[in-house]
Structure 1
């Protein structure tokens, strides 16, 4: 039983509580703080607190687009001192990102000076750079001084800061966001604001619209650096439905013809968030390490525009094949994750789809519209109240002047004489004489009429949801005209490079010898192993299989449980050591043994035989497995897998030592199964099997391992499934 001591007196610093309770409470507080105050954006304005505070501080400093820019150090100091109690480096990093046109689809800060570049170079120090707001940022702040949003005290209770910005356009999706919290993360790609506003208009017209219909208007992300999205419509639609997914983004390239069959590739647009300098280093390293056999040279000729020159190894290579290989080997193709994890209007984190995000933005715009209308109504009513007093003055001008001149307390007399309020009386007494001219009377009447009409319109707007949604649509249409810009990222269909790009495009083709030991250690020695006896193994181990191959080959490994596994030859350990255990590379059962190791040959045929004496012919193409668990080929215990090649006859030996030879054409061709009977036995099963060409004849191995010819093999020729007869003296196995 846990005994809790009473809390310490005020001012005490020691609290007696279980360690588990203390840690869980403090870690929960830390996690919630990270989620809500640092990592996740608000679905309404798309901002994290640091970005919101930067823009609000710049607004308070009146750094609008028409004003002169101020030092970034001044802005950072204002943000840190008044709103964001964290380091200046983190604030400046966030400010710099808001100004980078290769990071933000619609930059919110107009930066003057060195704000970094796509090569990955850092921005200059904040004391050298200057900044002000962009027109897009002004749209996000529009109405913030008109009670459009709630405010809360700053960290030191000396001032107030907005909890959310009015957000004149859907900034969350327009500029995207990314962040890592505790136990959750967010990754939202940028989009084209024109498409987003069109989708909002459709949602206003038809609240029951489906995500698929919205995706017709917003076909996919629109990254600031352009590129080509090759994920495919179905995958992007699924991401918009669920809020989770990803999009493959490729560099944009074109072929430059140099004449006489010579050409080179020019990359003009980079994938989003890929640093050009690091990409070039990675491509150069591929050339140096011979991992990109089709790539000849790469160099950067960029000035203001991207111009990355890629040259092939030789002119016989197809440009598409070269680029497909580089897309797989380098960051010329990246996958941008989509995880639309945001904070809703109540501050609760959750994953939202495209429609939910747009609806949350529209709901926020409605709240902003109503609050601004109420704010304006209060001021219009106050002004009309004052104008009513001035109208009384003009109707009784002489009497008002007499009261002001002669009465000791003109305010009280005015109130009593004309039924004015104290506010109206004060305003009349503060009015200058020149405002009592006839022309001012007309201006007052005109102003009163205009304000009365505006008041009626505002009151109707604040009480009619239909008028509110219509007004929101009109405002969005006006924003669209200001911010419209062409789409930069092209949406293309998904590309399957495996259909036309050979493995040689990704892996240097070099001769190797695959070595598998009896204990299951596998490695690949360069070139051909001339003398297997010189190979070294661990103590108690020995050679089991020696297979010539190339680094571009797939190695087929057949196990006694009837499964065939596939291993890339380029994934094997080098031949200098003892290699690595095969069971670490494939999911091989503990009791299963290896019965064959082959280098995959497309289009070839394999002879599959079980210990029970059944077999069939299988296309080698069907043997290739995509998973570590392999592919089940035979229903039963596998005895052998042989490549037929030019063989047209099959020879089998039973455990009773009877031998039978029959034509290979008697065996069916199938992808997997049990097969048909090869030889009949009263008891026992199949001991060994071989395939040979009838024009050459079979061979078999005697007890000493020597190869022996079999000139009279036709005496054992029969039909499949026969019992056979005793073979030549000494025949026990063919291999």
Structure 2
């Protein structure tokens, strides 16, 4: 440390110091760790791995070397980080179920689709593949820039030449600071076809490019089920996602039995965890249509799914599994990459291909200039050979007799310094090769190549034709065969049957119990004796609702809102249950008016305590949100007091003033939502009770343990909104029908 800085303390605000250091960390993470380069599709650790293996001459035709040796070279020369992270990156590049076009060929245990880890690096071996060789093509021909390594003792490439469309072909995933990237793998042949189309038509739209490259191509296959319009928008914006489902088929057995066999699972889904998830859902009875799951996989995936009964449709069974398990997953698209100027940006498909093509154009120009310089040097030497060919004896004499033969050779034969140095550096045994025909043949060939290279550098059209030709060769090499044939197929979004949520619940009879203080729970079967039920101290039974687990209950509240509760989701067991206010959004001032199972086609009479009401269909009481659905509009001071089934032809209403009125049900309108009409007129007080019944059967009410029926109702028959008369003798003093 300089003397003038030693012991110097500088006051800095903590916020400024933290922001400055965190910004440096964020930039380091973004630029040097998490985001791939759009030109070669590699992150720094992957690029250093490939280059280190190239330096070790681990070409596709060479032998394998221990992965520990490769990791050691990468850490020691280029990437000063932990060996585990470097080896993990190497392993992923070698896994054919993780990388669509593996850059490394592994020998040994490199893990499997079940999620098992690879063997330790001291046991495994590796070498580069043909795909990696294509990425490196031209790296020794000044195709890219180099920079010093972290210790300044070596140099490493800033980017690889990238002859293979690695970014789209193998995809990428990474999480930086404040940004992330997620690019699915694609088919290399299709990517090359799209790039060729962009060369021929630089203004090609995304839709035109997708005709050549329709979508992702995952290493594990599967069926892509995504709307074409959604995929087009994702590739245009650089953000979106793709749904991918497992590939399955039905195997028929004897006596009408059948099983579903899954042969391909979604990308990045570990088979062992998938089976564990299905087994867990089976145990929790959340897959009522599935009987059993077996893993019969070898090197080929084979999951056998047995239905609970053969009456189940295979499409419905798979629909329940797709919705509840990882047999259907979504892979996000976020093409956030580092551009050629090292700026992180989210690019569209067209911009990604354009950036890669521009890089290939730059590489072609640099390689052509490098080759042209090499040709010029060789031609200069060959010109010198031609000059001295007929005077070899004189050349030998000058070399033997002169103390400084080079200037003498240059003066005698009019040679350049380079030509004279080349002649002096020749071995005697090479003199026999110095045949004029051979020299002139090589000179002619190099002269033609120089002319072609100069023409190439002078014409942009020729350069793009050369690049298109290279891409066509790449397409033929990697676009077919076992490696290049498309694995993921495209399926119809509606090909799988849509199923109701009830299909995920095992059907059984239950009884829903609601306490006076608003605690709700469910017990299996019917409640034989309500007196045996236990509640919290000071609480008691309010309602018992017999139903099934697949039913949906309607909870009608004093705030006039209807809420929907799924019976199968209610808390079970011998406990106290759960406050109903945690299941739906009710305030402490609101209370439960009614709890029942709405029946399809049934109408219900809803009424406020002020005596206003109307009829509403059961379908209108359904509400999917926790906030419910407003049915009865209330005025200040009003509460929703009733929601009863409208089964009958007449309505009986009685008020707080003990006046009874009976009128036809048809006088009440049917609404979807509203304040309703006046059912009975009151000077003071409000509605005490209401009942819908059949006039021919008479009006019934409970008097103690007895039930009384009154058929002579002529004195109480009237029109809606009248006052009514005092009820018959024997009507309960409570003023209620039950």
State the match for 1:4 in structure 2. none
Q: 1:455 deviation in Å? A: 2.5
Q: 1:126 deviation in Å? A: 1.3
Q: Distance in 2 between matches of 1:317 and 1:575?
A: 30
Question: Is 2:226 aligned against 1:231?
Answer: yes
Q: Mind listing any 5+ residue stretches in structure 1 that lack a counterpart?
A: 1-6
Question: Is 2:467 aligned against 1:451?
Answer: no
Q: Distance in 1 between matches of 2:644 and 2:489?
A: 47
Q: Distance in 1 between matches of 2:423 and 2:273?
A: 72
Q: 1:477 deviation in Å? A: 1.1
Q: 1:105 deviation in Å? A: 0.8
Q: 1:180 deviation in Å? A: 2.2
Question: Is 2:473 aligned against 1:478?
Answer: yes
CA contact (8 A) 1:241 1:354 kept: yes
State the match for 1:202 in structure 2. 197
Instruction: Choose 308-317 or 652-661, whichever is displaced more.
Output: 652-661
Seen in structure 2, the aligned counterparts of structure 1 residues 391 and 357 have a Cα distance that, compared at 3 Å, is same
**Cα deviation per residue 1:599-630 (whole Å; 9 max; x = unaligned)?**
34444433333455444433323332222222
State the match for 1:388 in structure 2. 383
Q: Distance in 2 between matches of 1:195 and 1:647?
A: 68
**Cα deviation per residue 1:67-110 (whole Å; 9 max; x = unaligned)?**
11111111111112111212212111111111111111111111
Seen in structure 2, the aligned counterparts of structure 1 residues 479 and 711 have a Cα distance that, compared at 3 Å, is same
Q: Secondary structure at 1:298's aligned position in 2?
A: strand
Q: Secondary structure at 1:357's aligned position in 2?
A: helix
Q: 1:285 deviation in Å? A: 2.9
Seen in structure 2, the aligned counterparts of structure 1 residues 63 and 642 have a Cα distance that, compared at 3 Å, is same
Question: Is 2:490 aligned against 1:491?
Answer: yes
Question: Is 2:576 aligned against 1:592?
Answer: no
State the match for 1:512 in structure 2. 510
Instruction: Choose 161-170 or 346-355, whichever is displaced more.
Output: 346-355
State the match for 2:83 in structure 1. 88
Cα RMSD of the aligned pairs, angstroms, is 3.0
Seen in structure 2, the aligned counterparts of structure 1 residues 94 and 677 have a Cα distance that, compared at 3 Å, is same
State the match for 2:237 in structure 1. 242
Instruction: Choose 458-467 or 240-249, whichever is displaced more.
Output: 458-467
State the match for 1:357 in structure 2. 352
Q: Distance in 2 between matches of 1:486 and 1:339?
A: 25
State the match for 2:549 in structure 1. 551
State the match for 1:3 in structure 2. none
Q: Distance in 2 between matches of 1:439 and 1:250?
A: 68
Seen in structure 2, the aligned counterparts of structure 1 residues 584 and 146 have a Cα distance that, compared at 3 Å, is farther
Q: 1:639 deviation in Å? A: 2.2
State the match for 1:696 in structure 2. 697
Seen in structure 2, the aligned counterparts of structure 1 residues 404 and 238 have a Cα distance that, compared at 3 Å, is same
Q: 1:720 deviation in Å? A: 4.4
Q: 1:50 deviation in Å? A: 1.4
Seen in structure 2, the aligned counterparts of structure 1 residues 399 and 643 have a Cα distance that, compared at 3 Å, is farther
State the match for 2:343 in structure 1. 348
Seen in structure 2, the aligned counterparts of structure 1 residues 22 and 440 have a Cα distance that, compared at 3 Å, is same
CA contact (8 A) 1:246 1:336 kept: yes
Q: 1:682 deviation in Å? A: 6.5
Q: 1:133 deviation in Å? A: 0.8
Q: 1:399 deviation in Å? A: 5.9
Q: 1:482 deviation in Å? A: 0.9
CA contact (8 A) 2:184 2:218 kept: yes
Alignment of 1:360-379 (within 5 A): 360-379=355-374
TM-score by length of 1: 0.91
State the match for 1:709 in structure 2. 709
Q: 1:204 deviation in Å? A: 1.9
Alignment of 1:227-626 (within 5 A): 227-394=222-389, 400=395, 403-404=398-399, 407-432=402-427, 440-484=435-479, 485-495=484-494, 500-611=498-609, 613-626=611-624
CA contact (8 A) 1:8 1:15 kept: no
State the match for 1:219 in structure 2. 214
**Cα deviation per residue 1:392-413 (whole Å; 9 max; x = unaligned)?**
3347667656654555433213
Q: Distance in 1 between matches of 2:214 and 2:663?
A: 62
Seen in structure 2, the aligned counterparts of structure 1 residues 620 and 149 have a Cα distance that, compared at 3 Å, is farther
Q: 1:263 deviation in Å? A: 0.8
**Cα deviation per residue 1:542-590 (whole Å; 9 max; x = unaligned)?**
4343322222222222233332222322322224222223333323345
Seen in structure 2, the aligned counterparts of structure 1 residues 629 and 385 have a Cα distance that, compared at 3 Å, is farther
Q: 1:225 deviation in Å? A: 0.8
Seen in structure 2, the aligned counterparts of structure 1 residues 208 and 567 have a Cα distance that, compared at 3 Å, is farther
Q: How many residues align structurally?
A: 728
Q: Mind listing any 5+ residue stretches in structure 2 that lack a counterpart?
A: none
Q: 1:273 deviation in Å? A: 1.7
Q: Secondary structure at 2:435's aligned position in 1?
A: helix
Q: Secondary structure at 2:173's aligned position in 1?
A: strand
Q: 1:143 deviation in Å? A: 1.4
CA contact (8 A) 2:655 2:685 kept: yes
Q: Distance in 2 between matches of 1:13 and 1:602?
A: 83
CA contact (8 A) 1:640 1:689 kept: no
Q: 1:58 deviation in Å? A: 0.8
Seen in structure 2, the aligned counterparts of structure 1 residues 431 and 258 have a Cα distance that, compared at 3 Å, is same
Q: Secondary structure at 2:119's aligned position in 1?
A: coil
Q: Secondary structure at 1:380's aligned position in 2?
A: helix
Q: Distance in 2 between matches of 1:9 and 1:574?
A: 75
Q: Distance in 1 between matches of 2:3 and 2:707?
A: 93
Seen in structure 2, the aligned counterparts of structure 1 residues 87 and 395 have a Cα distance that, compared at 3 Å, is same
The match for 2:13 among 11, 18, 23 is: 18
Q: Distance in 1 between matches of 2:41 and 2:318?
A: 36
State the match for 2:735 in structure 1. 732
Q: Distance in 2 between matches of 1:605 and 1:479?
A: 69
Alignment of 1:39-188 (within 5 A): 39-188=34-183
Q: Distance in 2 between matches of 1:614 and 1:573?
A: 35
Q: Distance in 2 between matches of 1:619 and 1:459?
A: 84
